[in-house]
Structure 1
Amino acid sequence: MKNQRISLNFLLLFLLIQLTSCVSKKDIVYFQNDEIDQEKVSNSYKTIIKPDDLLQITITALDTEAVRPFNLSAVTYSTSSNSAIGVAQQQNYLVDNKGEIDFPVIGKLKVGGLTRDELIDFLNSKLDPDYIKKPNINIRIANYKISIFGDVARPGSYTIPNERITILEAIALAGDLNLSGKRDNIMVQREEDGKKIQYRVNLLSNNINVSPVFYLQQNDVVYVEPNYARIQTASSNSNTSLFISVTGLIITIVSLITK
């Protein structure tokens, strides 16, 4: 009878252990597999203009009067005095779903799909020499951001002021993966040519350095999937207390019966 009680106690302990799972070192240590193929590693990165981008386009030249129509300022007007109030700011150009912007004087311009350098060359060809001689053109994306969610410390959307970020830097911004986050199957969703494309990366491998999504692009979404143990724990949390109570009751009843 005493042995039966001991066996039941061990059974309870075993069932409770099954509710949790140990994480091995090989599941959490980054860059432990594969050698880096240096010939495939590239540090070049190009920003591609996409729909919904807000472009800040600043044009300067020796002839300040000539560039004024192309540097529109966004100001707030008072309805009572019909006068401008506040500080004038550079107007942003929204890239519509056709990849176009409405540019001063010139009109509609197709900019979607161009890199920053290509867009600068394109605008230069439109302005010089008909409107401005030897213009200096600066372009940045005002709403450049990436989003990361799932099993990370600080999920959310992050604005990237310098318009350049790697997937490793994005994970660092989010406070790193939780121990229960799957490091070998991280999903990156990106819009390409109007389609949602999903990539998978493995942080356990050095091959992440040659991944097409090593450098993230604006509006990329990174998702970290929880591991099996985390999923099981989440699904069982609501029933754990009841399970322990019922199991304890069964042990008590069996102990009384077998006395």
Structure 2
Amino acid sequence: MRIKKALLPLVVISILLFTSCIPNKDLVYLQNSKKNEKSIEVSESVSKPYRVQTNDILNISIKALDQRLVEMFNPSITTSQGASQLSQQSLYFNGFSVDDHGNIRVPVLGELNVLGYTVEEIRDVLEKRLLDEYFKSESRMFVTVKLAGLKYTVNGEIGKPGTNVLYQDKVNIMEAIANSGDITMTGDRKNVQVIRKLPHGFETHTIDLTDVSAIESPYFYIQPNDYIYIKPLKQKSWGTGTTGMQTIGTIITALSLITTTILLTRNL
């Protein structure tokens, strides 16, 4: 009977250790369950080009042999040193915003509908309109169209929650998370939630970042204005610790408190 009583605390501690510690498989990204496969190809549907939506901001740059002819098309800020510089703030005020009808207002050309177009398609439309109506091929006109940064928001169990802007054409969710300080140990990597704005409204999707098949998800590459939410693991609410040593420390503290309370009660 005494042996059973002595073993009881060990059993309780063992159960707490197994249930409260976060296993390594819940922390490692992109694990391949099929060990014989060396690589996975990304399908075409994942890497489709982004199509412009309302409230996007475009950075349009037009160059020609005589740059004075196209100055009005190029919003820029000149610093005290005389260099031309575009910041996120200046792009907000000087870039080409897509209104609720999917139009941008371009000097001379007027309103141009770009809703659902890729940046390459917008560039082709601009070049054609300008060459057909205002310029000649001898002007050697060169048009560049880009999104004014890829803005996204990360919240929840993340190192640096908040809104970030990356100046890249494509950003995957792993890069976005790394740029935000990585998911904390108590973050659920198996159930990352992505809320995406689409023309018909918002869609919510979950992606398991511990599974290598996540790279085949249409949500692996983020889009402008995506909201990424990292849910907490159950271990966080239990408060027993994320590692074995932390859990043991918590248990010892709790047992010491109980023992002290019992001894003080008996002495009263």
TM-score bracket, shorter-length normalisation? 0.7 to 0.9
Determine the structure 2 residue equivalent to 1:100.
103
| Aligned equivalents of 2:24, 2:239: Cα separation in 1 | 20
| Residue identity opposite 1:251 in structure 2 | I
- Does structure 2 conserve the Cα–Cα contact (< 8 Å) formed by 1:55 and 1:139? yes
**Residue deviations 1:121-162 (CA, integer Å, cap 9, x gap):** 121222122112343111222242122121122222221012
More strand by share: 1
Determine the structure 2 residue equivalent to 1:180.
186
**Residue deviations 1:79-136 (CA, integer Å, cap 9, x gap):** xxxxxxx977673111122221111112111112211111111212221221123431
TM, length-normalised to structure 1: 0.75
| Aligned equivalents of 2:187, 2:99: Cα separation in 1 | 37
Determine the structure 2 residue equivalent to 1:251.
262
Determine the structure 1 residue equivalent to 2:233.
227
| Aligned equivalents of 1:195, 1:148: Cα separation in 2 | 20
The RMSD of aligned alpha carbons is 4.0
Determine the structure 2 residue equivalent to 1:62.
65
Residue identity (%): 31
Match of 2:113 among 106, 110, 115: 110
Go from structure 1 to structure 2 and tell me whether the alpha carbon gap of 1:194 and 1:133 turns closer, same or farther (over 3 Å shift): farther
Q: Is 1:25 matched with 2:28?
A: no
| Aligned equivalents of 1:73, 1:180: Cα separation in 2 | 44
TM, length-normalised to structure 2: 0.73
- Does structure 2 conserve the Cα–Cα contact (< 8 Å) formed by 1:61 and 1:133? no
| Aligned equivalents of 2:207, 2:220: Cα separation in 1 | 9
After TM superposition, list the pairs within 5 Å mapping 1:1-259 onto structure 2: 10=9, 17=16, 21-30=20-29, 31-34=31-34, 36-38=39-41, 40=43, 44=47, 46-71=49-74, 91-134=94-137, 135-233=141-239, 247=258, 251-252=262-263, 255=266
Task: State the Cα distance separating 1:220 from its structure 2 match.
Answer: 1.2
In the comparison of the two structures, how many residue pairs are matched?
243
Unaligned runs of 5+ in 1: 77-85, 235-239
Further displaced range: 208-217 or 247-256: 247-256
Task: State the Cα distance separating 1:196 from its structure 2 match.
Answer: 1.0
- Does structure 1 conserve the Cα–Cα contact (< 8 Å) formed by 2:192 and 2:206? yes
Task: State the Cα distance separating 1:253 from its structure 2 match.
Answer: 7.0
Task: State the Cα distance separating 1:189 from its structure 2 match.
Answer: 1.2
| Residue identity opposite 1:173 in structure 2 | N
Unaligned runs of 5+ in 2: 87-93, 241-249
Determine the structure 1 residue equivalent to 2:246.
none
Go from structure 1 to structure 2 and tell me whether the alpha carbon gap of 1:99 and 1:245 turns closer, same or farther (over 3 Å shift): farther
